[in-house]
Structures are given as C-alpha cells and as structure tokens.
C-alpha cells in the first residue's frame, strides 16, 4: 500500500520534471533563491514585509510584459512595440480622463481598442506581409510612441483626478494603490492574467498552434494550422498585456507621461529569456517567465537595497541575461553529447 | 460516375526556370496501391504535392470521388477530402510530443480546453494498431529519424484518410520496419483505401503494388498493371535513353595515397570509419538515408567534434578540429545544403568566391586587392564555365547547378588536395548534373582526390572509381567499379547491426 502511494508521488514528481521547459525553470529558480538569500544577508530589511509587498508590486508589470513577449517569442518572432504600447495606453487613457472626455471605464475600452489595433497590425505585417518581425515591430514601436506624444499635443497630461475625482480614485486604487486580501491589486491583476494566459497557452488549441508555428512553421502549415491567425493572436495577447501595464503606469503616476514604458520591450525579452523562453521559437513556458520577471525584480530591488547605483544595476541585469542563456546552452549541449555517448553503447 | 477515386488530367506546373510537370495524367482506384515511379526530379513529388495541397497547379483538372475539384487544393481542404501525405522530408514540430504532432491542426477540445488525455489515448491506439512502440508523450525531436517517420505515418492515418500518399516511406526504415509497414499498407488497402506509393526501391514493389505509373522529366510515360510489366520494362521506361551519356567516365592513372582516415569516431552516426583516398580517383560513398554519410564528411572537415581517430594527409598526421584546419591542410567540403551551408546567397558570386580566399587576396593591412580578386574570380568562373551575366550578380540568382559550381570554384581557387562533395547533384537538372560530373572528372585529372556522397545509386556506380558503402554510421563494404552492382551496394547498405547481433547470438 505504502509503496503504491510512493509510486504515485514519484510519478507526479516525475511528470513535473518531465514538463517541457521545467529544467531551466528549476535551474533559474534555484538561482533566484540564492539571490534572495544573498540580498537578505547584505541587508536584512530586504525581507521586511513592506519591502516584499513592494517588490512583488514591482515585479507585477514586468511579469505582464514578460508574458506578452513570451507569447510572441514562442511563435518565433519578437515584439519591439511593447514599451511604446505601454506608453500609448498610458497617454490615451490619461488624456481621455484628464480632459474630461470620458470616465475611466469607457476610456479604458477605447484605449484597449487602439492597443489591439497595434497588435493586429504587428501580426498582419509579420505573418501576412512576411516582414521581418524586428523591422515590422520597430516600425509600430515608433508609430505607437508617436501616437503617445500626439494625443495630448506633445505634453504630459494633467492629473486624471481633475474631472472625475471619484472614478479616477477608484481607477488608481484598482490598478495600483488598493489592496485585496493583504496584497496590492497590481499583484492580483498580474496573477489573474498570468493564469488566464497560461491556460490559453498550455491548454488550448490556440496555444498549441503558437508552439507549432514557432517550432516548425512549414509542418504547422501543412497540418492545416492557420499561421496568419495564430501569429496575430500572439501579437494581440502581447498588445493586450502591454495595454494593461499602461493602465497600471497611469494609475501609479496619476497622470499620463509620454515616455512611459520606454525600454519595457527589452525588460520583457529579459524576463522571457531568463525564464527559458527560446528566442528561436517553439520553446518555453510561462512559469519560466514568472521566474525571469522575479529575477529581474529581485536584482533591481536587492541591488537598490544594497546601495548600488542605477548604472551598476543595469550592468548586473545585462550580465545575468547573457549568463542565463549561456548556462542553458552549455547544459543543453552537454546533455546532447551524453545522449550520443549513451546511444553508442 | 467513374471507377476512379482520384483523376488528375493534364496537370502542368512550372517553377522558376523549370517545367516540373508537363501535362501529366494520373488516376487511382479505391482499394489499390499505385506505385508512382521515376528518377529523382521526374516530378513525382511535385504531382503528389499538388494533390495534397502543398503546391498549386498551373493548369489541368482534378476529379476527386468523380467530382471535379475546381480551384486550388489547400492543406486543409485536402484533409477534408481524405487525402493525407507522408512527406519525404520529415515535417514535424520537433519541440512537441508525438501525440501533439499527430493531432496538430485538429486538436480535440472539450469546452475550449485541449483534451490531452484523449489525444494521448487516441494516439496510443493508432500507434498500437501500427505496432509502433512509441509513447505518445515522447518529444519528437528525441526520436530517431525512422521513428519520426513512423509517427508521420500514424499522423496521416489518424485522419482516417481515404487516399494516402507515401513519398519514399521506406528510405529511412530498417528491413523489419519495412515489413511492418507493408503489412500496414496491405491492411489499409483491404479496408478500401487507396495508396499512392513513391519509391526508388524497385525491388520492394512486388510485395505490395497493384498498378504502376511511370514519369520521366515531368512527363507521363505509362500506366499499367504491375503484373503486365517486368523489372526491365519499368527501368527502361524510367530512365529512357539517356543513361549512357549521363555518366562521362574518364580514366586516369591513380597516384599516391593522399588521405588516410583511421578509426574515426564522432557521435552515434560516425563509428570506426577507416579508408584511404588516392590521387586522381573518385570515391563514392553510398548508403541509405541516415547512414551517416553527411555526418562523416562533417566530422572529417572538422565541423562536428570527433571522439577519436586519426587523419593522415600525405602520410603526415594532421589534426582537424575546425574547418579552418581542414582548409589550411587542403581539404575542402562542398556541403549538402548549398543554400544553407555552402553559399552566402545574399552576396554576389564574386564575394562568394573571394570569401575563403581573403588571406590570399588581401595585403598585409587586410585590404582586399581588387585586381587579384578579379583575376581569381575570372579564372575560377571560366575554369568551371559558370553561366552568369557577370560576377556581380547575387549567388541566389543562379541555377542549382551553377550554384554548385560556385561552391566548388571558391574552394579550388586555392590549392586543394582533397575535395569532398556531399550530395553534389541533389535538386539540379540532368544537364547540370553532367556538368558536375565533368567537374569532378576535371579535378580527378588534376590529381586531386575526390570524395563524394550520393543517394542516387546509378550516380555512384557511374562516376566513382571506387565506392564505400555505409550503414548505421559504419562502413559495411568497399567495392570496385568492376564488381559493383546496385544489388551489391544495397546489400551492404542494409547490413544493419541488428542482424549481426542475431547472428552472433544464434
């Protein structure tokens, strides 16, 4: 009886270990734990509940844009427009509210529409017009930033509290300042969307097609997968997440700033890649993106606590990105050679 | 109503520069196995790709189940019509599992959620029916090529296809697997399914084939019951008259030994390889798909790491750890995939030829000497009579045969002692092939040792002075031109290790 239970347990463990992409999640996850221990040793306040909740709130938007980029990377493409879409989302929603055109909810809907339009354009240009994704999204990145600048005539907006003080306060609380069950709402938003998109990617047909397109686009096409729709869907998810992060930014600052989200596309690549999403497509899981975003957040926050200036933080994060991919490649080639040797005997 | 399940009439298809199909007729009845025969490049694959929706036709009519199918067939509509194809080149998502590949594009969903368990069970059932021992959750990239092909067959069958196209299904399979496949094919035929069977292995046909359609150079030649035809009939119809001119053979004296490989090991596909190569001879390396020929040339050239072994060049041992070592020692490789490994297709012919020779044509400050470059390029292009408007056109704009010549020309602009060709004639037309053969003969006459791999047995027989047969990463036989026949080569090429084991245990 007891052995049976044991068997079941090992089977579950085995199955978790067998899950694709779990290897890197575990490697980087252990690295994350080491980081936390080291930062805790340097400054015990790192573990204070104030800092932990704050840290999680810092990680949340990075996780969301990480999910955005992971979706696109798994199809074998890249989305450089994420940061600009964040900025565009912030500026459009803030302008609509601060000028008194609309209360937050309709403003958000209009904003979402614009963001999804950028996402759809990205997908269409890449999959249908066969533009290299780097170029296509570089273009939309510039366009979206331009839109962010033009909506309020090249100025940051006034406070969104001006015309709808009550609704705007709810908006700010909902996206940033409020807490539910002891955690900031931002964190909850990230968790909820992570679950939704993780489900979409790992449990639905669309998700499977996204992996297939990234793994072997020709095989996917010959199997009747609609490559254009699948790619567009991935870019739509990306734009959606970026839009939500735009709302979070708007709620945080309480106004729209034109340079919001600058550089986010690269943070998103960092979070994805550290978490084991392959830039060549077909590989990676969103659990990895959680770890990747956490590594990013812990490094920023921990180094800040340790008293390191911004410049040093940037250098460290850059090194970590390169290292994590390098370790993965070395581990993988080692495994391959082992397999060859084994096959020989 | 006709008796045919599929009828294709006067199908024409051209690709840039090639007329792949020229008014071809093809038809198949329900419950029969139809062999589609022809040499490489006869247009067999193109024809079935039109039927399965990979390519679209330029002209011609297609009737399926007696109804005319107007407009193009797409992969999806082909599947709806019950047409499934097992491609010659494996088309699988290597990151996904077996079950995920089998159900790719038509996943089973329950209220929007993938029914993973059901798909795994269903795949297990199909694999079981085919007696294939693979777990449905295995990642396809981790499987051997032959197993991947089995998965591909399972995928085709899982759609309950009425018309099943198999493009060279046995080329990567062992004898035992081939027998299993044939019993599957017979079962499918008895269920009333039609099978279009493309193969180069004529000796297989007698076991399964009902009727035969033969194509040559993109044209329909004949269609008849297999029982009415003899092997000689079939072969002469496939090859036509040209076979004699196809292989220009040049006799020249064999010089001293230049290359000697001893006990080379590199991974699973290169095991204990030993052979010698002499000046002025062409050695052909034969073997089935996946025999390790390409891997051997790659290891020799220093692309893939070697586990052990020695290489002697003119009786001096040389260490080749990277391609540069090989090049510096005078060993060069014209790789299998020209577009991927052989040429920078975005660059001009001139740049391509100059690329490996920049050390010769640059001065001490690493500035390219334009005059020297031009001289080298002109000499190379005239020597190999590369057809092009001028040397500044992009390499991609040339035909396959001329591209191959550029690959060779760029290496021979420097003094090379050994030239390795990996599948030099793959995917080029007959005339260009002859030019490649002439090129190899030319090298041989210059006292260069030529090593080449090929999947086309007539080519190996026709052009090489000596041949080495590989199977499963080992050399299983060596033959002289005089004693070699297709049968002998095939016999060596199928000497799989499993057989040896059973002999030992017996």
> Do the Cβ atoms of A211 and B109 come within 8 Å?
no
**Hey, is the C-beta of B115 within 8 angstroms of any chain A C-beta?**
no
* Position B502 confidence tier, pLDDT thresholds 50, 70, 90: very low
Smallest CA–CA distance from B94 into chain A, residue: A215
Of the candidates B192, B204, B123, which has an alpha carbon nearest to the alpha carbon of residue B168?
B204
Which CATH superfamily does the domain covering B255-505 fall into? P-loop containing nucleotide triphosphate hydrolases (3.40.50.300)
Which residues of chain A have a CB within 8 Å of the CB of B268? 340, 343-344
**Hey, is the C-beta of A121 within 8 angstroms of any chain B C-beta?**
no
Q: What is the largest CA-CA distance in chain A?
A: 76
**Hey, is the C-beta of A221 within 8 angstroms of any chain B C-beta?**
yes
| pLDDT score, position A5 | 41
B107: distance to nearest CA of chain A, Å?
A: 6
Q: What is the per-residue burial (b if ≥16 Cβ within 10 Å, else e) of B53-75?
A: bbbebeebebbbbeeebeeebeb
User: Judged by CB atoms within 8 Å, which residues 36-55 of B form the interface with A?
Assistant: 54
What is the distance between the alpha carbons of residues B90 and B101, in angstroms, rounded to a whole number? 12
B410: distance to nearest CA of chain A, Å?
A: 30
Query: How confident is the model over B137-144, as a mean pLDDT?
Result: 83
Would residue A231 count as lying in a domain? yes
B47: distance to nearest CA of chain A, Å?
A: 16
Would residue A8 count as lying in a domain? no
**Hey, is the C-beta of A212 within 8 angstroms of any chain B C-beta?**
yes
Are the CB atoms for A175 and A248 separated by under 8 Å?
yes
> Do the Cβ atoms of A224 and B91 come within 8 Å?
no
What is the distance between the alpha carbons of residues A321 and A269, in angstroms, rounded to a whole number? 9
| B145 or B225: which leads in pLDDT | B225
**Hey, is the C-beta of A208 within 8 angstroms of any chain B C-beta?**
yes
CA A314-A318-A321 angle, to 5 degrees, is 140
Which residues of chain B have a CB within 8 Å of the CB of A214? 95
- β pairing state of B282-287 and B449-453: parallel
Cβ burial, residue B9 (10 Å; 0-12/13-18/19+): middle
**Interface probe with A: pick from B81, B98, B104, B473, most Cβ of A within 10 Å:** B104
Q: How many structural domains compose chain A?
A: 1
Which residues of chain A have a CB within 8 Å of the CB of B49? none
String of DSSP letters for A254-286: SS--TTTTTTHHHHHHHHHHHTT--TTSS---H
**Hey, is the C-beta of A11 within 8 angstroms of any chain B C-beta?**
no
> Do the Cβ atoms of A283 and B114 come within 8 Å?
no
Would residue A158 count as lying in a domain? yes
A182: distance to nearest CA of chain B, Å?
A: 32
Q: Which of A204, A211, A224 sits opposite B96 (nearest CB)?
A: A211
Smallest CA–CA distance from B100 into chain A, residue: A208
Would residue A296 count as lying in a domain? yes
Give kind and range of the element (H or E) at residue B67. strand B67-68
> Do the Cβ atoms of B91 and A211 come within 8 Å?
no
Q: Which of B87, B116, B268 sits opposite A344 (nearest CB)?
A: B268
The CATH number assigned to the domain with range B6-241 reads: 3.40.50.300
Q: How many residues does chain A have?
A: 345
Strand order in the sheet with B449-453: B331-334, B418-422, B449-453, B282-287, B466-471, B474-480
Q: Which of A18, A219, A343 sits opposite B91 (nearest CB)?
A: A219
**Hey, is the C-beta of A222 within 8 angstroms of any chain B C-beta?**
yes
Which residues of chain B have a CB within 8 Å of the CB of A340? 267-268
**Hey, is the C-beta of B231 within 8 angstroms of any chain A C-beta?**
no
**Hey, is the C-beta of A223 within 8 angstroms of any chain B C-beta?**
yes
CATH, residue A59: 1.10.3470
| pLDDT score, position B153 | 81
Q: Which of A218, A225, A340 sits opposite B105 (nearest CB)?
A: A225
Percent of chain B with pLDDT over 90: 4
pLDDT of B428 higher than 50: yes
Look over chain B and give the mean of its residue pLDDT values, rounded to a whole number: 81
> Do the Cβ atoms of B79 and A224 come within 8 Å?
yes
Would residue A343 count as lying in a domain? no
| pLDDT score, position B498 | 46
Smallest CA–CA distance from A227 into chain B, residue: B105
> Do the Cβ atoms of A212 and B271 come within 8 Å?
no
Is the interface score ipTM higher than 0.85? no
| pLDDT score, position A100 | 83
Q: Which of A212, A222, A340 sits opposite B96 (nearest CB)?
A: A212
Are the CB atoms for B437 and B308 separated by under 8 Å?
no
B94: distance to nearest CA of chain A, Å?
A: 7
pLDDT of B250 higher than 60: yes
Q: Which of B95, B101, B112 sits opposite A282 (nearest CB)?
A: B95
**Cα–Cα distance list, A6 to A1, A2, A10, A150, B170 (Å):** 9, 6, 6, 63, 44
> Do the Cβ atoms of A344 and B91 come within 8 Å?
no
The domain limits of chain B are 6-241, 255-505
**Hey, is the C-beta of A200 within 8 angstroms of any chain B C-beta?**
no
Tens of each residue's pLDDT in chain A, 345 residues = 333 444 445 566 666 666 666 777 888 888 899 988 988 888 888 888 888 888 999 999 999 999 999 999 999 999 999 999 999 999 999 999 998 888 899 999 999 999 999 999 999 999 999 999 999 999 999 999 999 999 998 889 888 888 888 888 999 999 999 888 888 999 999 999 999 999 999 888 888 899 999 988 888 888 878 899 999 999 999 999 999 999 999 999 989 999 999 989 989 999 999 888 888 888 889 999 999 999 999 988 888 888 888 888 889 888 888 887 787 677 666 555 444 444 333
For residue B258, the SS3 value is: strand
Q: Which of B95, B137, B271 sits opposite A283 (nearest CB)?
A: B95
Domain carrying residue A241: 48-327
> Do the Cβ atoms of B114 and A203 come within 8 Å?
yes
Phi-psi region of B62 (alpha: psi -120 to 50; beta: other; left: phi over 0): beta
Which range, A196-200, B296-300, B394-398, has the best average confidence (pLDDT)? A196-200
């Amino acid at each position: 009886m007891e052995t049976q239970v044991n068997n079941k347990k090992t089977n579950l463990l085995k199955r978790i270990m067998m899950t694709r992409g779990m290897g890197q999640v575990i490697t980087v996850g252990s690295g994350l734990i080491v980081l936390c221990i080291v930062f805790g040793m340097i400054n015990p306040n790192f573990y204070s509940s104030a800092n932990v909740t704050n840290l999680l709130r810092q990680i949340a938007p990075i996780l969301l844009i990480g999910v955005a980029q992971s979706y696109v990377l798994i199809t074998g493409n890249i989305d450089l427009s994420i940061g600009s879409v964040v900025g565009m989302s912030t500026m459009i929603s803030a302008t609509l509210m601060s000028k008194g055109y609309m209360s937050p909810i309709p403003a958000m809907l209009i904003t979402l529409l614009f963001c999804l339009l950028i996402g759809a354009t990205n997908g269409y240009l890449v999959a249908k017009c066969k533009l290299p994704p780097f170029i296509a999204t570089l273009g939309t990145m510039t366009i979206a930033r331009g839109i962010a600048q033009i909506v309020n005539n090249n100025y940051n907006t006034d406070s969104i509290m001006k015309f709808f003080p009550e609704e705007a306060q709810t908006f700010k609380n909902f996206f940033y300042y409020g807490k539910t069950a002891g955690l900031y709402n931002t964190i909850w938003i990230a968790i909820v969307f992570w679950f939704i998109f993780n489900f979409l990617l790992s449990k639905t047909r669309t998700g499977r097609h996204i992996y297939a397109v990234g793994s072997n686009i020709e095989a996917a096409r010959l199997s009747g997968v609609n490559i254009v729709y699948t790619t567009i869907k991935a870019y739509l998810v990306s734009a959606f997440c970026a839009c939500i992060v735009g709302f979070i930014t708007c709620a945080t600052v309480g106004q729209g700033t034109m340079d919001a989200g600058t550089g986010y596309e690269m943070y998103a690549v960092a979070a994805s890649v550290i978490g084991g999403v392959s830039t060549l497509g077909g590989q990676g899981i969103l659990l990895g993106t959680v770890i990747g975003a956490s590594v990013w957040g812990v490094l920023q926050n921990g180094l800040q606590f340790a008293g390191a200036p911004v410049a040093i933080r940037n250098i460290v994060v850059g090194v970590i990105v390169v290292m994590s991919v390098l370790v993965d490649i070395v581990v993988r080639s080692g495994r391959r050679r082992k397999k060859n040797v084994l096959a020989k005997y | 109503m006709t008796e045919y399940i599929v009828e294709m009439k006067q199908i024409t298809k051209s690709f840039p520069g090639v007329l792949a199909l020229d008014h071809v007729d093809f038809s198949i009845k329900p419950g029969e196995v139809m062999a589609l025969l022809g040499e490489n490049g006869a247009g067999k694959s193109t024809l079935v790709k039109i039927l399965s929706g990979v390519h679209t036709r330029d002209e011609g009519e297609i009737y399926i189940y007696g109804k005319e199918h107007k407009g193009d067939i797409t992969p999806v509509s082909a599947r709806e019509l019950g047409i499934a194809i097992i491609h010659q080149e494996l088309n699988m998502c290597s990151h996904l599992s077996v079950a995920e590949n089998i159900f790719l594009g038509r996943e089973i969903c329950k209220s929007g959620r993938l029914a993973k368990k059901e798909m795994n069970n269903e795949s297990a059932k199909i694999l079981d029916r085919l007696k294939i021992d693979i777990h449905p959750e295995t990642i396809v990239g981790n499987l051997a090529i032959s197993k991947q092909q089995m998965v591909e067959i399972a995928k085709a069958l899982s759609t309950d296809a009425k018309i099943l196209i198999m493009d060279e299904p046995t080329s990567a399979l062992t004898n035992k697997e081939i027998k299993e496949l044939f019993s599957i094919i017979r079962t499918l035929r008895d269920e009333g399914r039609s099978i279009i069977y493309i193969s180069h292995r004529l000796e297989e046909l007698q076991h399964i084939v009902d009727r035969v359609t033969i194509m040559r150079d993109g044209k329909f030649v004949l269609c008849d019951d297999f029982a009415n035809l003899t092997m000689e009939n079939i072969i002469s119809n496939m090859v036509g008259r040209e076979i004699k001119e196809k292989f220009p053979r040049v006799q020249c004296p064999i010089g001293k030994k230049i290359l000697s490989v001893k006990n080379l090991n590199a991974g699973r596909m290169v095991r204990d390889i030993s052979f010698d190569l002499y000046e002025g001879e062409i050695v052909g390396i034969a073997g089935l798909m996946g025999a390790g020929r390409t891997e051997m040339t790659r290891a020799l050239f220093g692309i893939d790491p070697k586990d052990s072994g020695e290489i002697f060049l003119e009786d001096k041992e040389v260490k080749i750890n990277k391609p540069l070592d090989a090049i510096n020692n005078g060993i060069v490789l014209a790789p299998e995939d020209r577009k991927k490994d052989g040429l920078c297709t975005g660059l001009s012919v001139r740049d391509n030829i100059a690329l490996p020779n920049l050390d010769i044509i640059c001065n001490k400050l690493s500035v390219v000497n334009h005059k020297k470059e031009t001289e080298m390029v002109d000499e190379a292009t005239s020597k190999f009579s590369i057809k092009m408007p001028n040397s500044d056109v992009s390499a991609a704009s040339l035909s396959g045969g001329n591209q191959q010549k550029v690959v060779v020309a760029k290496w021979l602009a420097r003094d090379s002692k050994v030239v390795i060709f990996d599948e030099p004639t793959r995917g080029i037309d007959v005339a260009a092939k002859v030019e490649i053969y002439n090129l190899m003969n030319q090298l041989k006459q210059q006292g260069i040792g030529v090593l080449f791999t090929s999947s086309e047995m007539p080519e190996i027989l026709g052009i090489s002075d000596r041949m080495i047969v590989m199977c499963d990463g080992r050399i299983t036989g060596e033959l002289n031109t005089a004693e070699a026949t297709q049968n002998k080569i095939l016999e060596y090429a199928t000497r799989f290790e499993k057989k040896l084991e059973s002999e030992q245990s017996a």
